[in-house]
């Protein structure tokens, strides 16, 4: 019998827990599935069992029965909407989710409880037993006084008189360590023996100020843009979300149940009317389609935009590169630089970075150069252009063709007549001929630059456009060095540039996805790469592919139960600490408006490498 137990306490975030048991027990005992904190409740007060026909029946074991729908009964069949109570604790039978047999909502009073009528309990005790040596009352008083002495007065004396407290801690049970409700977490273990570090006052819950005294430099738990709309979070106690004394090997101090987030996000407009977020109640059937953060790259400025994966008509990321995954993953293979047919796989280009969470950035030398050579001149088939810098290409071509011209290399058909005439070794050119040769080199470099940039080499993969900045500088230099006739109207005299790449390194910055944890899956289970013909395609299949393996907190057969914080973090402030101070964090290198660019020297704007 699978049960969902939800506990509601006034002023606190509801808590939910999952139980799988044949018999759900309710009572005051520490071994009960649902513990009722009341002296009128029996140690094992009642049980709930599922009959063969599927009915759920509650049966009272204690003599004072249960109050069921206003009537005192010893047993009854439970249906949604029924209410029953044990002492001051009220329980309501709710409509159970699909994979559950029973859902109970427990309402506990946190204020001063109504006075309980203990006379009814003591009246059931045999009067003769009270006069015996081993009467229940005498035994109870003896044990109560022993507990008071051993577990309250002596630890309290050790707290007041420190030497006594140190000695008491060498004993197994009578020190203040007996008050410890459980092993402290590893993060706080260095002061585990100093209870007063957190518990400043006796019988007073740990105050928020105790947490912020140590965690004052921790980023604030409410981002500044949300502080007005969800100001109620600041009135909650830290322990509403952070649970201590759950063991040193506990996964985290943070609650993992769904209601930690859905208590607000299942109806987000009720607390944040201006929110653009959709309501979320459960990953299995109450979560909207994922939204990918992509770069629109408008007006040469990378602007990240979040677009739902279901809106295929808008889901285009302008990357300024021509690339087809389908062509590279062709099962017939592709030809490399040596014209050898090779069959590529995803891992030939995409490798995880250290730690395995994200994929490492690509660069031309490691992933592309093996097949794509940058040859530019048939006379030197092994010579290649530099990659990643427009100006380096121009400088390289200037030097290469000037060297050939000065060495009387006559293989070029466009060589001017003066260069086709032989000169004696060491003979200097007349000034005018030297100027003509220099002018020819400049024009030829412009021609080659235009050809390789636009058509043959760079333009085969990259988006290429006129470099206005470079042309203005070239024009100024030309005006200073020569008064020859300008050729600005000729496209071959224009310098060209490769447009910088821009793409979001992480399509889901609001989620925490780890590739290493999913390495048992094929890449194509999540990425639709084999059908992608263009680099603008966003290769994410959407929430449906995740739901093939993951479901909501309730779980399902052969699926992983997943709660909100398995993928999402809290809305932490990026600018303020818990005490309201500004966080001074230097901007991350290689980012533009939230879009992470590839590192310099790889697939980046060549201009960025120029000082």
With respect to residue 286, please indicate whether it lies within any of the assigned structural domains: no
CA neighbor of 25 nearest in space, from 40, 51, 45, 1: 45
Answer yes or no: are the C-beta atoms of 125 and 136 closer than 8 Å: yes
Last residue of a domain, one of 78, 97, 131: 131
Of the residues 131, 153, 179, the one at which a domain ends? 131
**From residue 558, how far is each of 239, 550, 551 by CA, in Å?**
34, 9, 10
pLDDT on residue 16: 86
pTM of the model: 0.61
- Distances from the Cα of 225 to the Cα of 267, 293, 368, 564, angstroms: 19, 19, 43, 21
CB of 504 closer than 8 Å to CB of 293:
yes
- pLDDT at 560 (0 to 100): 92
251 pLDDT band (50/70/90 cuts)? low
Residue 187 within any structural domain of the chain: no
Highest mean predicted confidence (pLDDT) among 150-159, 419-428, 546-555: 546-555
* DSSP track, 162-184: HHHHHHHTTSSSSSGGGG--SPP
- Examine residue 413 and state whether it is found in any structural domain, yes or no: yes
3-state secondary structure 46-103: EEEEECCCCCEEEEECCCCCEEECCEEECEEEECCCCEEEECCEEEEEECCCCCCCEE
pLDDT in tens, 590-603: 443 334 443 333 33
Does residue 486 belong to any structural domain of this protein?
yes
Residues 6+ apart with CB under 8 A from 366: none
pLDDT tens-digit map of 187-221: 888 888 788 888 888 778 888 889 988 998 888 88
Q: What is the rounded distance in angstroms from the CA atom of residue 141 to the CA atom of residue 58? A: 34
Model confidence pLDDT, tens digit, residues 296-347 = 654 455 567 889 999 988 888 888 888 999 999 998 889 888 888 899 999 9
Give the domain CATH number at 62. Answer: 2.60.200.20
β 56-60/334-335 pair status: unpaired
Whole-angstrom Cα Rg for the chain: 38
Q: Is 178 a domain residue?
A: no
The phi and psi torsions of 277 (rounded to 5 degrees) equal -75, 150
**Domain C-terminal end among 131, 149, 173:** 131
- What is the domain range of residue 427? 373-460+464-498
Among 204-208, 482-486, 516-520, 557-561, the minimum mean pLDDT is found in: 482-486
In a domain, 229, yes or no: no
Is residue 480 in some structural domain? yes
Residues 20-34 have a mean pLDDT of 89
Residue bearing the bigger pLDDT, 491 or 456? 456
| Mean pLDDT estimate for the chain | 79
The percent of residues above 90 in pLDDT, for the chain, comes to: 16
User: Which is it for the CA torsion 163, 169, 174, 176, positive or negative?
Assistant: positive
Tokens coding 47: 């049980």
| pLDDT > 70 in the chain, percent | 79
pLDDT, one tens digit per residue, over 443-470 is 888 888 888 888 889 988 998 888 766 5
Q: Which residue has the higher pLDDT, 420 or 523?
A: 523
Q: Which residue has the higher pLDDT, 304 or 235?
A: 304
Among positive and negative, which fits the CA dihedral 35, 41, 47, 48? negative
Residue 8 pLDDT more than 50? yes
Pairing of strands 560-561, 550-551: parallel
Residue 198 lies in a domain: no
Across residues 100-113, what is the average pLDDT? 74
Q: Could you give the number of structural domains in the chain?
A: 2
Instruction: Give the list of residues 6+ apart from residue 101 with CB closer than 8 angstroms, or none.
Output: 1, 2, 3, 50, 56
**pLDDT tens for residues 254-277?**
888 888 889 889 998 888 888 888
């Amino acid at each position: 019998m699978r049960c969902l137990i939800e506990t509601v306490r006034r002023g606190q975030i509801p808590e939910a827990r999952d139980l799988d048991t044949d018999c759900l027990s309710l009572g005051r005992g520490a071994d009960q599935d649902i513990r009722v904190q009341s002296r009128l409740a029996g140690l094992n007060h009642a049980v709930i069992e599922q009959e063969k026909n599927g009915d759920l029946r509650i049966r009272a074991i204690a003599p004072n029965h249960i109050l069921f729908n206003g009537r005192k009964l010893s047993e009854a069949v439970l249906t949604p909407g029924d209410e029953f109570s044990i002492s001051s604790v009220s329980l309501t039978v709710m409509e159970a989710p699909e994979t559950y047999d029973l859902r109970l909502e427990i309402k506990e009073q946190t204020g001063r409880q109504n006075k309980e009528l203990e006379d009814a309990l003591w009246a059931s005790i045999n009067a003769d037993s009270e006069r015996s040596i081993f009467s229940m009352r005498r035994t109870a008083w003896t044990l109560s006084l022993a507990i008071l002495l051993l577990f309250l007065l002596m630890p309290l004396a050790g707290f007041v008189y420190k030497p006594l407290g140190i000695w008491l801690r060498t004993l197994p049970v009578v020190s203040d360590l007996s008050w410890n409700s459980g092993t402290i977490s590893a993060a706080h273990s260095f002061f585990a023996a100093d209870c007063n570090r957190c518990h400043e006052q006796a019988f007073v819950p740990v105050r928020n100020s105790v947490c912020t005294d140590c965690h004052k430099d921790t980023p604030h738990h409410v981002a500044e843009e949300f502080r007005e709309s969800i100001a109620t979070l600041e009135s909650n106690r830290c322990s509403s979300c952070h649970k201590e004394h759950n063991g040193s090997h506990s996964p985290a101090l943070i609650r993992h149940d769904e209601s930690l987030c859905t208590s607000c996000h299942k109806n987000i407009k009720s607390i944040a009317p201006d929110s653009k977020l959709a309501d979320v109640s459960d990953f299995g059937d109450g979560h909207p389609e994922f939204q990918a953060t992509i770069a629109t790259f408008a007006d040469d400025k990378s602007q990240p935009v979040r677009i739902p994966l279901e809106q295929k008509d808008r889901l285009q990321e302008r990357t300024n590169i021509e690339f087809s995954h389908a062509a590279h993953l062709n099962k017939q293979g592709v030809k490399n630089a040596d014209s050898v047919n090779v069959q590529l796989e995803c891992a030939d280009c995409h490798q995880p970075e250290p730690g395995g969470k994200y994929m490492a950035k690509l660069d031309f030398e490691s992933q592309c150069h093996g097949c794509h050579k940058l040859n530019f001149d048939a006379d030197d088939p092994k010579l290649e252009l530099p990659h990643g810098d427009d100006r380096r290409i121009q400088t390289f071509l200037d030097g290469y063709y000037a060297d050939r011209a000065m060495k009387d290399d006559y293989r070029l058909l466009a060589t001017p007549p003066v260069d086709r005439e032989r000169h004696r070794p060491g003979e200097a050119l007349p000034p005018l001929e030297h100027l003509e040769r220099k002018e020819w080199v400049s024009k030829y470099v412009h021609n080659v630059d235009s050809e390789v940039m636009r058509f043959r080499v760079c333009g085969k993969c990259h988006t290429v456009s006129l470099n206005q900045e470079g042309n203005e500088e070239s024009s100024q230099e030309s005006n200073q060095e020569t008064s020859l006739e300008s050729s600005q109207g000729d496209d071959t005299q224009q310098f060209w540039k490769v447009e910088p790449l821009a793409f979001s390194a992480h399509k889901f910055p609001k989620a925490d996805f780890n590739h290493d944890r999913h390495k048992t899956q094929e890449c194509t289970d999540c990425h639709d790469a084999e059908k992608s013909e263009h680099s603008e395609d966003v290769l994410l299949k959407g929430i449906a592919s995740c739901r093939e393996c993951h479901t909501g907190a309730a779980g399902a057969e052969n699926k992983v139960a997943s709660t909100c914080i398995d993928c999402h973090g809290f809305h932490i402030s990026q600018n303020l600490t818990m005490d309201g101070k500004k966080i001074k964090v230097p901007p991350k290198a290689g980012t533009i408006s939230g879009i992470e660019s590839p590192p310099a020297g790889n697939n980046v704007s060549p201009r960025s490498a120029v000082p």
